[in-house]
């Protein structure tokens, strides 16, 4: 039975022999080649260790200590928020009193 992904070995094949030119020696060589490739990949991965974005940002944070960091920016934006809220409250307070002055309420019960 033959298909794209599978080829059956006939029952008459001798155990230990593979179809085609590949024998035990060739398989052993390919295993050695694969082990060599694996060791090279491991050494490359060790060389690249610490090059992810998180590692790079942590290393940069350790190397440089800028004055503009997360704490400073949170204080700046917090104070800007307080200023905006206080100016808004002041404006609406003045608007409320201007409307009361323009349209005074008439009390008839007195």
Residues 20-61: tens digit of each pLDDT: 555 777 777 788 888 999 999 888 887 777 666 777 677 766
- If asked whether residues 50 and 13 sit together in one domain, one would say yes
- In a shared domain, residues 82 and 47: no
If asked whether residues 30 and 41 sit together in one domain, one would say yes
Range of the domain at 41: 1-65
> Tokens 């060589």 map to which residue?
29
Q: Which of these, 42, 58, 40, 61, lies nearest to 50 by C-alpha position?
A: 58
Say whether both 61 and 7 belong to one domain. yes
**Domain count for the chain:** 2
- Amino acid 86: pLDDT: 98
pTM higher than the cut 0.75 = no
- Tell me the CA distances in angstroms from 29 to 14, 36, 40, 85, one per residue in order: 21, 10, 16, 75
The per-residue pLDDT for range 55-99, each reduced to its tens digit, is: 767 776 666 666 778 888 999 999 999 999 999 999 999 999 999
Based on the fold, state whether residues 109 and 79 are members of the same structural domain: yes
92 and 39 together in one domain: no
Q: Are residues 13 and 54 in the same domain?
A: yes
Distance CA 50, CA 101 (A): 69
Same domain, 71 and 57: no
Which has more pLDDT, 92 or 9?
Answer: 92
């Amino acid at each position: 039975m033959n298909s794209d992904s599978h080829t059956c070995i006939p029952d008459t094949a001798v155990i230990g022999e593979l179809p085609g030119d590949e024998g035990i020696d060739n398989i052993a060589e390919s295993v050695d080649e694969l082990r060599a490739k694996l060791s090279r990949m491991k050494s490359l991965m060790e060389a690249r260790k610490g090059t992810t974005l998180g590692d790079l940002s942590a290393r940069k944070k350790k190397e440089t200590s800028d004055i503009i960091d997360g704490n400073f920016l949170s204080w700046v934006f917090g104070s800007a928020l307080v200023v905006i809220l206080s100016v808004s409250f002041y404006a609406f307070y003045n608007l409320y009193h201007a409307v009361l002055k323009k349209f005074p309420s008439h009390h008839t019960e007195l």
